[in-house]
């Protein structure tokens, strides 16, 4: 199966979405501790049972979006590894994975962003009204050109699973000792890189974090030395990730096709992305990428997650408490 390309027209997005399906922490140790992954799954199932008991899922409380619904089941044109320019400093690519997923075959979608042209923003429900929104709703509310998950989150549907701050607002003050990557932006000085992923094991992270107003902590996928930081696992997921390339560009990455993260990392390194390092931001049906540029609008959602949603049927944007968005610099 393949998705349509970005250039096929207006937003290819499901017309309905189930609200308030944020089901808790989805995580495991950086090196793939399966026991912790099962604990996270148990928490999510408890959250699901609570929502079902409240009638929020059994009643199918849909919210109309007024957008076309033929998103994910339509074949794409032949894929090219060439970048498509959407605007100055903004490029889109669909890449065929050299290793096929056992579930379905979609291209890996990548948005390449020049941080000298576009400004990254962390937008959190905890800072803006307390209610989660879909990526499109966040984008509409804040004039975003694109958005992706910022991180996994706890059962309160607000708090990130890792350290997260945005200027004076602190979503989570705790450094998660299991997480090895920090996405840092909004530097205190223009002499600093506008964005970087700081490697907790390869850099003086405590000193570096002091130089940035915005910090988001997540699991490392690919280390600063190009290492695969995940152990082999039979569990597979749709994946959303954020990476830096060797030219200082930010990459928003989405794969609806599920993989173990251990298998997905070498796939990314084999693609013509020039990845410097990368971090995991979400998996399963919550994994979301949204883009609105050049008069076109498009969204990608995940679906498959081992022991949680073992199917390729999701066509809904889930509401998210924390997202990373971009706006064009003035």
pLDDT in tens, the chain (330 residues): 333 333 433 344 432 232 322 222 222 223 333 333 333 444 454 444 433 333 332 222 222 233 333 333 333 444 556 899 999 999 999 999 999 999 999 999 999 999 999 999 999 999 999 999 999 999 999 999 999 999 999 999 999 999 999 999 999 999 999 999 999 999 999 999 999 999 999 999 999 999 999 999 999 999 999 999 999 999 999 999 999 999 999 999 999 999 999 999 999 999 999 999 999 999 999 999 999 998 889 999 999 999 999 999 999 999 999 999 999 998
Task: Confirm whether 212 is domain-assigned.
Answer: yes
- How would you classify the pairing of strands 181-187 and 212-218? antiparallel
Integer Cα distance of 101 and 306 in angstroms: 13
Task: Confirm whether 1 is domain-assigned.
Answer: no
Task: Confirm whether 119 is domain-assigned.
Answer: yes
Q: What is the pLDDT of residue 43?
A: 44
Residue ranges making up the domain that contains 70: 6-328
Task: Confirm whether 206 is domain-assigned.
Answer: yes
Integer Cα distance of 132 and 59 in angstroms: 20
Q: Which two tokens stand for residue 257?
A: 């096709």
Task: Confirm whether 106 is domain-assigned.
Answer: yes
Burial call 202-222: b when 16+ CB within 10 Å, e when fewer: eeebeebbebbebbbbbbbbb
Greatest alpha-carbon span in the chain:
54
Task: Confirm whether 209 is domain-assigned.
Answer: yes
Task: Confirm whether 89 is domain-assigned.
Answer: yes
Please tell me whether residue 129 adopts helix, strand or coil conformation.
coil
How many structural domains are present in the chain?
Answer: 1
Q: Which two tokens stand for residue 291?
A: 């883009």
pTM: 0.82
Task: Confirm whether 166 is domain-assigned.
Answer: yes
């Amino acid at each position: 199966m393949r998705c349509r390309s970005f250039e096929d027209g207006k937003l290819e997005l499901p017309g309905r979405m189930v609200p308030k399906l944020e089901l808790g922490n989805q995580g495991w140790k950086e090196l793939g501790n399966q026991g912790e992954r099962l604990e996270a799954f148990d928490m999510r199932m408890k959250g699901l049972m609570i929502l079902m008991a409240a009638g929020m899922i059994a009643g199918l409380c849909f919210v109309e979006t007024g957008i076309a619904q033929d998103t994910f089941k339509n074949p794409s044109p032949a894929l090219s590894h060439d970048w498509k320019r959407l605007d100055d400093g903004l490029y889109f690519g669909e890449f065929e994975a050299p290793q096929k997923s056992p579930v379905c075959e979609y291209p890996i979608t990548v948005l390449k962003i020049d941080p000298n042209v576009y400004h990254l923003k962390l937008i959190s429900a905890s800072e803006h009204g307390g209610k989660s929104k879909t990526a499109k709703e966040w984008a509409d509310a804040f004039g975003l050109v694109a958005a992706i998950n910022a991180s996994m989150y706890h059962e309160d549907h607000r708090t990130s699973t890792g350290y997260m701050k945005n200027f004076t607002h602190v979503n989570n003050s705790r450094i998660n000792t299991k997480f090895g990557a920090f996405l840092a932006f909004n530097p205190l000085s223009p002499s600093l890189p506008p964005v970087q992923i700081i490697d907790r094991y390869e850099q003086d992270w405590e000193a570096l974090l002091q130089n940035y107003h915005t910090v988001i902590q997540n699991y490392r996928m690919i280390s600063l030395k190009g290492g695969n930081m995940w152990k082999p696992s039979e569990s597979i997921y749709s994946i959303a990730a954020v990476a830096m390339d060797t030219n200082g560009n930010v990459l928003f990455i989405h794969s609806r096709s599920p993989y173990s993260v251990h298998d997905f990392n070498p796939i990314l390194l084999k693609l013509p992305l020039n990845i410097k390092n990368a971090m995991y931001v979400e998996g399963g049906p919550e994994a979301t990428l949204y883009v609105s540029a050049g008069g076109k609008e498009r969204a990608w959602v995940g679906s498959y997650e081992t022991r949680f949603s073992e199917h390729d049927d999701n066509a809904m944007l889930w509401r998210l408490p924390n997202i990373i968005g971009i706006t064009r610099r003035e």
